[in-house]
Structure 1
Amino acid sequence: EDLDEPEDLDEPEDLDEPEDLDEPEDLDEPEDLDEPEDLDEPEDLDESNNYNDFNAADDIEKEVIKVDLKEYTAIEENRIFETEVPSIEEIWPPKVLEIIKFVDKEDNPFFDICKDDDSELLEGIDYLINKALEKQKIDNKEKMFTIPGYDLTLVLATNHNDKLKLWERRNNLGAVMFSQNKENWNALVLKYNADNNLIDVEEVEITKDSFDPVDWKFVVSTGNRLKKV
């Protein structure tokens, strides 16, 4: 069969011209970033530390304690061998040391004086004892002196210990107590031989209430005279 003549195709439509695109907007310039801070150099780790050797925190703590104890022991050993501890004989004067060997150290005002380690006071006590012994050889009378601030009087006794002498001594100690406005007082009665070596110490404690009214009159009279000295 005869084929049909092909149909004429429509002319293609003219395409619209493309729209002009907007010019791209200028982008802001990027802000300058701060220079990065210099990081601290990592500390050198102690090469001797091997953390793989420790399985728990308490293991580390034990090792630290061991090191500290070693150092402490070494320091203490050096201190022991390098330090010379003075003896009591070097610290306390001879007459003071003599008394200490006699008195009860648990609760004694004289021992408290020595423990305070006032070298000037201790030297003064030693000096006064020696001077009192010198005078006693001349007049053969009792001597006494009071240590200020300690409520204590030292009495250097003679061999005359009759009742009258003991009564007089007690009243004199009471007078010292009264002159210091105290109601309790302590005394050490020291007895020396002919070579001035201490042979006995008597600890005496008196109170205001221990005096009868008659004796207390003597105490007050003598004490008032002491206050005026």
Structure 2
Amino acid sequence: MTTGAVHSYDVSIGVDGPGTRFVAFLAGCPLRCQFCHSPDTWFRRAGTPTTDDALVAQVLRYQRFISVAGGGVTLSGGEPLMQPYFVRAVLRRCHDAGLRTALDTSGFLGARADDALLDATDLVLLDIKSSDPLTYRRVTRTGRLDPTLRFARRLADRGTPIWVRFVLVPGLTDAESNVAGVAEVAAGLPTVQRVDVLPFHRLGAHKYAELGLEFPLAATAPPDDALLDRVRGQFRDHGLTVY
């Protein structure tokens, strides 16, 4: 039995594509992204201690519903790879139960994902925040880009399907050169199935206020349609399927 900390979970329609998914949001994240909409997941202490037995029991309550709907199980966060042993135990047991599994990660801690964990992972939702190390550091304040790129190449070498996620923030990640760089990275990974361009929003601003934190992008507006079209077009120009 493995112990971890879960911030929350839900059962959602179409969170990661067609079908119904059980999504568990694990507590703890080292990156502190400027656009993060869940600062309440940054700290392990914000989660509820639990075991893989308990979480898998919750998942299996919905097993028939999830399976019939063509969905699966996603471990998200925070950053789930802060708790690799717990993640491995949960994904393995869900995978063994016949459920499709997904790992939603920044890849920054990808070195913590051993082969056994990845063997139990059917899909990785990989958040590539920037292609430029300086921009990546602006976005995350503490992070480095190289670990994510190494993890992405490792996934591709293993044949693991990848959905790249890119958060589009005006004035932060929207530079044409930055987008082109992310597109080049994604296009160079043969197991990337799609790219999701996620428009920045301020829906989590109230959480910062509740926690007594300053929301660094409080004055930043979401991207308009013209910017979204330009960025999605840049990814399509690299032969990628874009949503």
Alignment TM-score, normalising by the size of structure 2: 0.26
Question: As a proportion of its length, which structure holds more strand?
Answer: 2
Higher relative contact order (CA 8 A, sep 6+): 2
Alignment TM-score, normalising by the size of structure 1: 0.28
